[in-house]
Structures are given as C-alpha cells and as structure tokens.
Amino acid sequence: MSSPTVRQIDPWRAGNITLLLIVSLVGCSDQAAHIPPPTAVKNIASHDQARVTFSRDVAAILYQHCVVCHRAGGSAPFALLTYEDARKRAEQLVDVTQSRYMPPWLPDPAYVHFAGERWLSEEDIETIEYWVLLGAKEGDPAERPAAPEFSGDWQLGEPDLVIQMQQAYRLEAGGTDVFRNFVVPVPVTETRYVRGLEFRPGNVNVVHHAGVQLDATNSSQLADDRDEQPGFDGMQRTNMRMPDGHMLGWIPGKTPFTTEDDMAWRLEPGTDLVFELHLQPTGKAEEVQCSVGLYFTDQAPTRFPFLLRLGSQTIDIPAGDRHYVIQDAYELPIDVELMGVYPHAHYLGKEMRGRAKLPDGSTQWLIRISDWDFNWQDMFQLAEPVFLPEGTTVEMEFTYDNSANNVRNPNPVPQRVVYGPKTTDSMGDLWLQVLPASREDWQVLAADFRRKSLRDMLEGIVHTLKVDPDNAVAHYNMGLAFFQHGKRDKARHHFERAVEIDPEFADAYNNLGTIHGMEQDHDRAIQLFRKAVALNRDYADAQFNLGLALQLRGEMKEAAVHFQEVLRLKPKHVRARQNLAKTLLVRGMYDEAISHLRRALELDPEAVDIRADLRAGEQLKTRGAREKEQGEEDRHGVSTDQ
C-alpha cells in the first residue's frame, strides 16, 4: 500500500507515514472434497442418446472444459486427451461431473456469465453418464474433433522479462497445507507498463494456487529476511498491494492475465513482486520455484480501472451458528463499467451473493455462488462488461456455516471464529473491478470510496482490539486513523503501543519519528528514524525522513547519505533529489547540486520551488566562481608585492 505524504507542517511536507490495512486477499482450505457415491444405473433402452460415443460426443466436452489441466505437463494428476485416457477414468468422470466437483467452477451461470466458464450443462453431464452406461465406446475416430495442442512454451508468447524466485523452497513431505509468500525483485531501471503476466508454478504437484501482488516499500523483503527459509509464512504485516486496479492470480487452468495496452499497469523501479502461494504436501519432499513472464507496452495507460471492496472486518461467528450473515453496500458516485469480480472467504463461507440495484429500480446480478469452496477461488472476468450508472448501489451478502454439519469446518467441535487474515480466522470480501469513463471520474470515485474505506477500517480496528487488545497491527492502524484526523497525541499512543508489542515494527518507528519531527523534536525524530532504518536499510520512506531531520539540524553531510540511499531505491524520487541538492549547495558542491536539480525538474516540470532552487544554485555557482577568481587575484597580488 503506498504511503500517503505528511504535509501538516512545512518542513515535513515531504515526510511519509505508512498505511497498513488488516485486509487479506488469499485464504485456502486443506479440507478434502466430498465426492458422492456413483449414480444409480438408469433404464436407457429407449433413450435417444443410445448411440453416444467418445469421438462424436464426449471428446468435445473434455477438450473444451477439462484438458487445459488434464494433459501432459498440466496441473491435474492425469490426462484426458485420448480415448484411452478417458476410458480408464470413465466411472470417475460420471461421479465428479454429477457432483459438480469437476470441472471446478463456483459462480452459477444462471445469474452471470464470466469469461472462460468451465460449467457443464445438464446435457453435457448426461452425455458423459450415458456414454459410460453404454460401455464407454470409442466410436468412429473420424468424427472426433481435433485435440487442442499444447506446448511447453509460454502461452502468451516469449515474455519481455522473466523473473524467478531467487531460491527454491523445500516443502516437507508431511503436515498440513502451507501458505507462504516469496519476494521477487523486478530488475527494471525505468517505469514500465505491463500489459500481460503469465505465472508458472514450476511444481504443479504442490502449488494449489497463487496470488501476485506488488510491494514498493521493501517491507515484504524485510519479512523474508527475518525468516531462515526462503519466503515468509502466512499473511504477515507488509505493504503489498494490487497493481493499479488489476487482480492478478493463478489457479490450474486459468488463462494468463492480459489487458489492453491502454489499461496496462505501472511498474516502477525498486518494486518487488510477491507470490502468495498455497502449497499442498504430497507425501515426499518437494522443491518449489515459481516464475512469471512479464509483457510490456510502451503505451502509458489512458484508461484506469479501480477496485471496490465490499465486506466486513467485524466478523464474529458463534460456535454452531449455521446461518451467519454479513452485508455491505456502496452507492456509485459516477458511471462505471463492471469488468471483474473476486469473492473471498475462508473455511466457513457457504453462500455468496453480489447484486446491483440500479436507479430505475431494477436489479443486476454481479455473482451468485451457492456452495463456496475456496480450494477453487478465482478472480472472474465478465464475459461482457456491465454498465452501472451513477446512483447504482452495489451490494454483497455472504452466509457462513459454523456448525458441525459443514464438512469444511476445520474445527470438529465448532469454535467461535472472528475476522482475521489466518485461514482459521474468517474473512468476507467482494472485490469489484470497475472502469470509470475518464481519469477525472476515477479521481471522484477514489476520493468518495476512500471515505468508506476509512470508516470500514476504523470499525474493523475497534472490533479487532476488543477481540485482541495486544494486536500490534490494529494499534498501528488505529494510530494512523487518529493521525489522519489530526489527533497526534492519540496517534502517538497507539504507535508506541505497536512497537511495545512488536519491537521490530519499522513502520511504527517511522510514523512516531514523523510526529516528533512535526513537533520540532528533531533529536527524538532522528532516533526513531535511525531505528526504522536499522531494521530495514531499504525502507525508502524512513531513509528520506531521516535525511530531512538531519538536514533541519544542519548535519548536511550525513543527510546527503540518506537522500542518496533513497535515490538508490527510487531513482525518480523528486523530493529526495531536491533535498540532496540543497545539502550539496550548502557544502559548496555546486555542479553536482545543479545536476540533481535539473534532473528533478525533468521529473516534475511544474515544480516552482525546484525551479527557484535551480536559479539559486546557478547564482551561488556564479558567485562562488567570482569569489574564487577574486581570491586568486588577491593571492597573486600579494605574491608580487612580496
């Protein structure tokens, strides 16, 4: 999550304070799916499909819905490309299709159609059943459609850049499912625009699904550094975010992410990708080393999607409750097109409904899932965008089952379950990817929705602190909420409580330092910024704030070191470059200072203050040259007189 800039007091107008939301996007189940017993044999003597064969009837179904995973090199444990492949699994095909366990598809197509639907029609299911009951005959191979062709190459073509986990992770043979994050630096030296991303799990035997997010703050790298093994567990406190209104992820059979060039997302230097992996042990030790291919465009985006989150951060499900309901709604302040939907819950989720109430009183379904199974959660793109006019209210309603009757309940004896990022906690989010008509509309939507998000966040923090008074992240976020409302004393209390609970909470030290800096207590601010930097040398915001504090105390040489560190991490950080130039001017290093100011002005041509600093620097250089020349003349004159 990007760090909003603190501007309350002029010397600290470029200081940074970091936002962390207790929001998680990935949670998974390690519960075995329930497969019902085989269907009863039917009387088919007079049925009009008594001539069903693999070649004429079944192959087309498998080719369209199944073989993207069930093929050599695919993510499924066996292939279904040939007649022999299918014949060996004939009875199993009937079982899993009639139960709708396979192919995996959660949304009900009777309500909304999404791209890449794997939902089988009743006719398809019946065709497979009759094929098996009639002896699973091959039929005439000439009637069989051409099988899809797959290669080991990239589906989207050769990527512009391939990046891979720096080390393989060893997944042990036994135990429960593992949820782990892996930080992958992106070696770009200038802003790039990404139009496509293809994820490769590497080891399809153990990677169940993955999310891909960005972190431009190095907090994920810090969490990785603290862990002895590659990556870090669970959903720890980091500043991961989705890229520019896009949802990135992978499950078996998912089509790689692509977007139009004019909706590409921005990738800045110094940004890390974070792979959020759900890993399933196989009974023997396995190695995991995922990679992604990135596809760039030179075209800067002109259309900007936005992610709306509906949900609750106050979930508190009593033990045994079979019908616990959460609801949320938001009225759109502008016209938008709905592009995609991402529902998310944990073990106890049961039913999901997303709808839009239009200004004319009509209702538009956004998604309907009658039997949630987050083993197969996905980000669903609409087959065709849906127009939602200004004044539309988008709504979500999720139902949970915390009874012993829920076969996915992780607790054989039901326990109270509250909101939280762990998979044994509970969550409820409906993310909507919408596209405003213009950048101006995007800004209206962002400002309006930010108010809702802050209200939701505050409500969730209060609830979390009631449940867990020693939650460091909740105290941190409460401090942030008070800070944004100008209540610095209360903000300081919660930031101090956060570092008391977690002495390695670098973000909290940075924000405490910012508050002390705004109150002109530069000595204490410097101590706190030094602590944040000691915990994470690559923490650009803390490096910048430490440079500012030292600069205000007149320690220009050391301040310059920290501004240079910022530029190492973020070469386009305009204010770091400007302030570095100021420290150089004070030290008489005019040429270097002017070079930095000219580069800063290139990055921000409208910055009046940088232009003024550049003029002042050039004047100082000219004056310095004259004084030097005059000094030479004076020394020469003295020498002659002697």
With a cut of 50, which residues of the chain have pLDDT below it?
1-15, 18-48, 639-642
Would you say 480 and 17 are in contact if contact means Cβ atoms under 8 Å apart?
A: yes
pLDDT tens profile 61-118? 999 999 888 988 777 889 999 999 999 999 999 999 999 889 989 999 999 999 888 8
Would you say 29 and 423 are in contact if contact means Cβ atoms under 8 Å apart?
A: yes
The torsion angles phi and psi of 174, rounded to 5 degrees, stand at: -115, -170
Peptide bond into 103 cis (omega under 30): yes
Six-digit token pair at 314?
A: 């106050």
Would you say 61 and 127 are in contact if contact means Cβ atoms under 8 Å apart?
A: yes
| Cα separation values, 183 from 169, 232, 291, 526, Å | 12, 9, 11, 29
Cβ burial, residue 62 (10 Å; 0-12/13-18/19+): buried
200, β-bridge pairs: 291
Would you say 130 and 97 are in contact if contact means Cβ atoms under 8 Å apart?
A: no
The torsion angles phi and psi of 307, rounded to 5 degrees, stand at: -105, 120
Tell me if domain 161-297 and domain 306-467 are identical in fold.
Answer: yes
pLDDT tens profile 158-213? 999 999 999 999 999 988 778 899 999 999 989 999 999 999 998 888 898 898 99
CA–CA separation, 369 vs 371, rounded Å? 6
Q: Tell me, what's the pLDDT at 637?
A: 60
Give the CATH class of 306-467: mainly beta
Q: Tell me, what's the pLDDT at 7?
A: 30
CA–CA separation, 499 vs 507, rounded Å? 9
The torsion angles phi and psi of 421, rounded to 5 degrees, stand at: -80, -20
112: left (phi over 0), alpha (psi -120 to 50) or beta: beta
Q: Tell me, what's the pLDDT at 235?
A: 57
Instruction: Name, in order, each residue with C-beta under 8 angstroms of 194's C-beta and a sequence gap of 6 or more.
Output: 243, 264, 265, 266, 267, 294, 295, 296, 297
CA–CA separation, 520 vs 49, rounded Å? 84
CA–CA separation, 49 vs 599, rounded Å? 74
CA–CA separation, 437 vs 457, rounded Å? 28
Q: Tell me, what's the pLDDT at 50?
A: 58
Kindly list the domain boundaries of the chain, sorted by start residue. Answer: 5-21+468-628, 54-143, 161-297, 306-467
User: In terms of pTM, does the model score above 0.85?
Assistant: no
Q: Tell me, what's the pLDDT at 30?
A: 35
Six-digit token pair at 275?
A: 């792979």
Which of 211, 212, 214, 235 is CA-nearest to residue 223?
235
Q: Tell me, what's the pLDDT at 622?
A: 86
For 161-297, CATH number? 2.60.120
- The string over 554-567, giving b where at least 16 C-beta atoms fall within 10 Å of a residue's C-beta and e elsewhere, is ebbeebbebbebbb
Q: Are strands 178-185 and 232-233 parallel, antiparallel or unpaired?
A: antiparallel
Q: Tell me, what's the pLDDT at 12?
A: 42
One-character DSSP codes across 354-376? EEEE-TTS-EEEEEEESS--GGG
How many other C-beta atoms are found inside a 10 Å radius of the C-beta of residue 376?
20
Q: Tell me, what's the pLDDT at 639?
A: 46
Would you say 369 and 343 are in contact if contact means Cβ atoms under 8 Å apart?
A: yes
- Sign of dihedral through CA atoms 548, 549, 555, 558? negative
Residue with token string 């409820």:
428
Q: Are strands 393-400 and 324-331 parallel, antiparallel or unpaired?
A: antiparallel
Q: Tell me, what's the pLDDT at 331?
A: 98
Give the homologous superfamily in CATH for domain 5-21+468-628: Tetratricopeptide repeat domain (1.25.40.10)
Q: Tell me, what's the pLDDT at 430?
A: 97
Q: Residue 426 gets which letter from DSSP?
A: B
CA–CA separation, 140 vs 57, rounded Å? 11
The CA R_g of the chain, rounded to the nearest whole Å, is 29
Q: Tell me, what's the pLDDT at 237?
A: 58
Residue with token string 């030790």:
285
Q: Are strands 272-279 and 207-215 parallel, antiparallel or unpaired?
A: antiparallel
CA–CA separation, 139 vs 83, rounded Å? 10
Strand spans (E) along 283-323: 286-288, 291-297, 306-311, 316-317
